[in-house]
Amino acid sequence: MTFTTQVHSKLTLKKPTKNTPAPQLVFFADSNGNLLGNVSGEHAKRAERLIAKSSFSGELCASISDYGLDIDGSGITVIGAGKLEKLAGNIQKLGAATYKSIKNHTTAFINWGDAICQKHFSQFALALLNASYRFDRHFSKKSESDALKAVHFVNHKDSLVEYEAALSLTKATFKGQSFARDLANEAPNILNPSTLAKEAKKLAKEYGDKVELTVLGEKEMTKLGMGCFMSVSKGSAEEGKLIILEYFGKTKKTKKSKLNQPIALVGKGITFDTGGISLKPSAGMDEMKFDMGGAAAMLGTTKAICEAGIEIDLVTVIAAAENMPSGKATRPGDIVTAMDGTSVEILNTDAEGRLVLCDALCYVQDNYQPRTIIDAATLTGACVIALGSVRSAVYSNDEDTLFALETAGEYTNDLLWQMPLDDEYAAQLKSNFADLPNVGSREGGSITAACFLKHFIKEGQAWAHLDIAGTASISGANKGATGRPVPMLVQFLKAQAS
Ligand code: BES
Ligand code: MN
Ligand code: ZN
């Protein structure tokens, strides 16, 4: 984002000068062609005249503009908000459409009047910012950057304090979400476990007074008994890393201080998933660079929390490895031992996410007393079949954590859907040769993966698992990382702090 954003309680325009060109004024109209938000004044009248002389119907995201030179030289754009009763569900689409319509102007005033509440304002502003996101670092010819320099949100409110706070959190969220998208979009020859650790180091440096970084390599992880993690990592020439970021948002950071019952975020960071010896088919395998989407989301969330200065203790643990076939790779049938002593028979080396995560979950429980643990992972294709790309799956053993996550998902429209953890599903996880196999049958594949993780959660430890295989990236022609569920997680953590 190269433009500034601000909220105002009314529309006041300065006389344009040579250096400050006249702005574009954006209004919204419903599907009856009426302007939203009780906006008034000469500019609103211009917008009404513009609607009256056109065939504009206020259809969602349709727009009409005049770049008129009358009055003070400002231009007018009216964007269709569609049917009012559906506006709540369309607010993000409208945010993206608004960005498109203003990006070629230097300054824009977005006139919501009294039509937008704080929650929808946050969703709208984040969608607008996200529409400006680009990942073009590898093109030799850069596309021209957009002209936009300043966006002013005009919301008719007596007090702007809450809207200013909402915008400030939105900007922090956008920064974190963009960081997550950058990490996940990066090519897998460039983004490997070591370079991911370097990115975490940069983050730790940027917020050094509150953040402490520890990176464990394979030697240390072997010593700690992380046999499951190592079974995935050892087939790759790239060294696996366990990346630990401590954020002291509540406890003051000193040389000796420790986090006080932090919330723990754990992310699956498979920087490329070939499937290992249980090799994946080649079609679309490039998209397995997104298999560190959980790690990206947790690092992005951490960055947003640092940026917003949320008063909470947080520990973020990233299990970063590459899943490759090689002479050193794990074979189907190999038996390894997790950090907590559980023996695991690896029946399918493509079910690697749960293997790196289980040791990370053991580590975080052994070294912290987490208030609750949230893990995020692009864990199963079965989750994509079940929920598609609309909602992330959430599994939890704790009602408070689950409710808080779902509430944050609703608030940000970064939605979740609860899935079951019944023992009857866990019953599929029976091995003839070890405590656990790493896969069940094909039936309920996302659920048995979650049951596998649950095995490593200690009695009484609150925990939730997010399967984001369908939501972390878009596949096909518009492929790319979404940065989900950063918005939900930032909102969740903010609510936990207050
Ligand atoms: N990373 C994949 C899951 C995935 C699939 C994410 C499609 C995004 C899109 C995961 O490591 C995997 O391969 N899971 C297997 C598990 C199976 C072997 C039990 C799967 O879903 O097929
Ligand atoms: Mn896999
Ligand atoms: Zn994977």
Ligand lying nearest the CA atom of residue 270? 3
At 423, the amino acid letter reads D
Task: Tell me the two tokens of residue 212.
Answer: 């402490």
Which among 401, 341, 380, 365 has a CA at the least distance from the CA of 471? 380
At 236, the amino acid letter reads S
Does the annotation flag 212 for ligand binding? no
Cβ partners under 8 Å of residue 162, min gap 6: 118
Does the annotation flag 241 for ligand binding? no
Which among 149, 151, 77 has a CA at the least distance from the CA of 106? 149
pLDDT tens-digit map of 48-97: 999 999 999 999 999 999 987 666 789 999 999 999 999 999 999 999 99
Is residue 271 within 6 Å of ligand 1 at its C-beta?
Answer: no
Does the annotation flag 30 for ligand binding? no
383 CA closest ligand 1 atom index = 21
- What pLDDT does residue 17 have? 74
Furthest C-alpha separation in the chain? 82
What is the 50 CA–ligand 2 centroid distance (Å)? 55
288 CA closest ligand 1 atom index = 1
Nearest protein Cα to ligand 1, atom 13: 350
Q: Give CA angle at 465 (459, 470), nearest 5°.
A: 165
472 CA closest ligand 1 atom index = 8
What is the 271 CA–ligand 3 centroid distance (Å)? 9
CB atoms under 10 Å from CB of 325, counted, come to: 16
Cβ partners under 8 Å of residue 482, min gap 6: 181, 471, 472, 473, 474
Taking the CA atoms of 244, 248, 253 and 258 in sequence, report the sign of the dihedral they define. negative
- What pLDDT does residue 31 have? 97
Spell out which residues have Cβ within 5 A of ligand 3, the ion.
Answer: 270, 273, 291, 353
Is residue 445 within 6 Å of ligand 1 at its C-beta?
Answer: yes
Contact 441, 351 (CB under 8 A): no
The C-alpha atoms of residue 4 and residue 98 are separated, in whole angstroms, by 15
Does the annotation flag 10 for ligand binding? no
The C-alpha atoms of residue 449 and residue 442 are separated, in whole angstroms, by 11
Task: Tell me the two tokens of residue 130.
Answer: 């996200």
Is residue 186 within 6 Å of ligand 1 at its C-beta?
Answer: no
pTM above 0.85, yes or no: yes
The C-alpha atoms of residue 404 and residue 341 are separated, in whole angstroms, by 32
Is residue 467 within 6 Å of ligand 1 at its C-beta?
Answer: no
Is residue 349 within 6 Å of ligand 1 at its C-beta?
Answer: no
- Angle, to 10 degrees, between the axis of helix 118-130 and the axis of helix 399-412? 70
Contact 117, 51 (CB under 8 A): no
Residues of the chain with pLDDT under 50: none
Active site residues: 280, 354
Contact 375, 318 (CB under 8 A): no
- What pLDDT does residue 14 have? 79
The C-alpha atoms of residue 425 and residue 422 are separated, in whole angstroms, by 6
What is the 278 CA–ligand 3 centroid distance (Å)? 12
Nearest protein Cα to ligand 1, atom 8: 469
Does the annotation flag 291 for ligand binding? yes
First to last CA, the chain: 29
Is residue 348 within 6 Å of ligand 1 at its C-beta?
Answer: yes
What is the 191 CA–ligand 2 centroid distance (Å)? 18
What is the 60 CA–ligand 2 centroid distance (Å)? 40
270 CA closest ligand 1 atom index = 1
Is residue 238 within 6 Å of ligand 1 at its C-beta?
Answer: no
Q: Can you give the chain as a three-state secondary structure string?
A: CCCEEEEECCCCCCCCCCCCCCCEEEEEEECCCCECCCCCCHHHHHHHHHHHCCCCCCCCCCEEEECCCCCCCCEEEEEEEECHHHHHHHHHHHHHHHHHHHCCCCEEEEEEECCCCHHHHHHHHHHHHHCCCCCCCCCCCCCCCCCCCEEEEEECCCCCHHHHHHHHHHHHHHHHHHHHHHHHHCCCCCCCHHHHHHHHHHHHHHCCCCEEEEEECHHHHHHCCCHHHHHHHCCCCCCCEEEEEEEECCCCCCCCCCCCCCEEEEEEEEEEECCCCCCCCCCCHHHHHHHHHHHHHHHHHHHHHHHHCCCCEEEEEEEEEEECCCCCCCCCCCEEECCCCCEEECCCCCCCHHHHHHHHHHHHHHHCCCCEEEEEECCCHHHHHHHCCCCEEEEECCHHHHHHHHHHHHHHCCCEEECCCCHHHHCCCCCCCCCEECCCCCCCHHHHHHHHHHCCCCCCCCEEEEECCCCCEECCCCCEECCCCHHHHHHHHHHHHC
What is the 136 CA–ligand 3 centroid distance (Å)? 25
Is residue 332 within 6 Å of ligand 1 at its C-beta?
Answer: no
From the number of C-beta atoms within 10 Å of its C-beta (0-12, 13-18, 19+), residue 203 rates as: buried
Torsion of CA 274, 277, 282, 286, to 10 degrees: 10
The C-alpha atoms of residue 60 and residue 317 are separated, in whole angstroms, by 42
Ligand lying nearest the CA atom of residue 380? 1
Nearest protein Cα to ligand 1, atom 3: 380
- What pLDDT does residue 71 have? 67
At 277, the amino acid letter reads I
- What pLDDT does residue 16 have? 73
